[in-house]
Amino acid sequence: MKKQIKITITALLLQCLVACGGDNSSEPSQQTNNAPILSVEFTEAVVSETFSSAISIFDADGDALTLSIENQPQWLILDGENQRLSGTPQAGDEGLFSDIILTVSDGTDSTELLFEITVLPGEMATNQPPTVDLVVTSMLVGQYYQFTPQIYDADGDKLTLTLANAPSWLLIDSEQNFLYGTAQPSDEGIYKDIRLMVSDGTDSTELLFEIAVLPIENTTNQPPTIELVVTSMLAGQYYQFIPQIYDADGDKLTLNLANAPSWLLIDSEQSLIYGTAQDIDEGIFENISLTVSDGENTAQVNFDIEVIAPVPLPAMISCE
């Protein structure tokens, strides 16, 4: 719950004039410095809202002026460049802050403003709970969905979302304030009493909703295809083979390698096979199996690789 705080100020202006130089009748042209003056206009402040008060300063000689403050409460800040006092008192700051000293100086003379601030408790402000609304009824299996709830707080408080009693495939992005997910064929059915909660740090609001996961009717999954052209490689040299894989449904594909020699490896992330055969690996490696899957159907290609010894370079003949 928010609490308002009012501020009343009693200001006593004290001028401290510091003389520079003495009376010298032999120098009638010497000019006396005029001390600067200042005044402050205070208003009311509300807890958790910014209190701001302008400072008026003037110097008859046109000197550059600087401001300083002493013995002020922790929440009261001086902005000398913009000639302003500001801050936000909180609950617990109630009471009298006396003997605060605000000083303006022209480099020669200075003027002090001695004042006190009384922080009084005010009326209690009622926090307005946030609201949340979400329109979602159904989704199709295998398709990515993103749902953005409508959230609002009349007090302008920062809001956070949490999700409870949701299926594992339904997730929440609390930073961006949306729900997202992709249900699979095994997830078909109705999910009831999913709880979406929004909080402003003081009050919260809960929304119950349900989602029906529906099958995609009359849609047959298309199996992926795979093609790889590789016949031979030289021993001692690194080779990389990239198979041509494709899925008409746009499904994510994974590769698997079987019955392969130990030096032939697979990078499933990059969808390629690679390796370096040694001289002792010379020969033909038959019926190596490379399989691609879309999670439902698979396709396979069998291939052979012949490891060939490199042709030796002719001996160098030295002519002397």
**Could you tell me the CATH number of the domain that includes residue 284?**
2.60.40.10
User: Within this chain, do residues 118 and 39 fall inside the same structural domain, yes or no?
Assistant: yes
User: Within this chain, do residues 184 and 267 fall inside the same structural domain, yes or no?
Assistant: no
Of 214, 236, 270, the position where a domain reaches its end is 214
According to DSSP, the β-strands at 2-16 and 110-125 are antiparallel
Only one residue has tokens 């008026």, namely: 56
Neighbours of 47 (CB within 10 A): 20
pLDDT at 251: 86
Indicate the number of domains in the chain: 3
Tell me if 283 is assigned to some domain.
yes
User: Within this chain, do residues 243 and 181 fall inside the same structural domain, yes or no?
Assistant: no
Tell me if 318 is assigned to some domain.
no
Of 125, 156, 173, the position where a domain reaches its end is 125
User: What sign has the CA pseudo-torsion 193, 198, 204, 205?
Assistant: negative
User: Within this chain, do residues 209 and 267 fall inside the same structural domain, yes or no?
Assistant: no
User: Within this chain, do residues 91 and 7 fall inside the same structural domain, yes or no?
Assistant: yes
Rounded Cα distance, 125 and 117, in Å? 23
pLDDT at 6: 45
Contact residues for 107 (Cβ-Cβ < 8 A; gap 6+): 63, 64, 66
DSSP label at residue 224: P
Neighbours of 129 (CB within 10 A): 17
Tell me if 26 is assigned to some domain.
no
Q: Which of 249, 274, 251 lies closest to 263 in space, CA to CA?
A: 274
pLDDT at 4: 42
User: Within this chain, do residues 117 and 6 fall inside the same structural domain, yes or no?
Assistant: yes
- The sheet with strand 37-40 has its strands ordered as 37-40, 51-58, 84-87, 77-79
pLDDT at 53: 84
Rounded Cα distance, 247 and 129, in Å? 49
User: Within this chain, do residues 240 and 203 fall inside the same structural domain, yes or no?
Assistant: no
In order along its 320 residues, the chain shows pLDDT tens digits of 334 444 444 444 444 343 344 454 445 556 899 999 988 776 566 777 777 888 899 998 999 999 999 999 998 999 989 999 888 888 777 777 888 899 999 999 999 988 777 777 656 557 889 999 887 788 899 889 998 888 988 888 889 999 999 999 999 998 888 999 999 989 999 999 999 999 999 899 999 999 999 987 756 788 898 888 777 888 998 988 888 888 877 788 999 999 999 999 999 888 889 999 998 999 999 999 999 999 889 999 999 999 998 877 666 655 55
pLDDT at 313: 62
Amino acid 278 reads Q
DSSP label at residue 177: T
Domain span at residue 109 reads 2-18+33-125
User: Within this chain, do residues 119 and 139 fall inside the same structural domain, yes or no?
Assistant: no
Q: What is the pLDDT of residues 180-236, one digit of tens each?
A: 999 998 999 999 999 999 999 989 999 999 999 998 775 678 889 888 877 788 899
User: Within this chain, do residues 94 and 201 fall inside the same structural domain, yes or no?
Assistant: no
- Please, which residues bridge with residue 67 across strands? 104
Rounded Cα distance, 292 and 224, in Å? 7
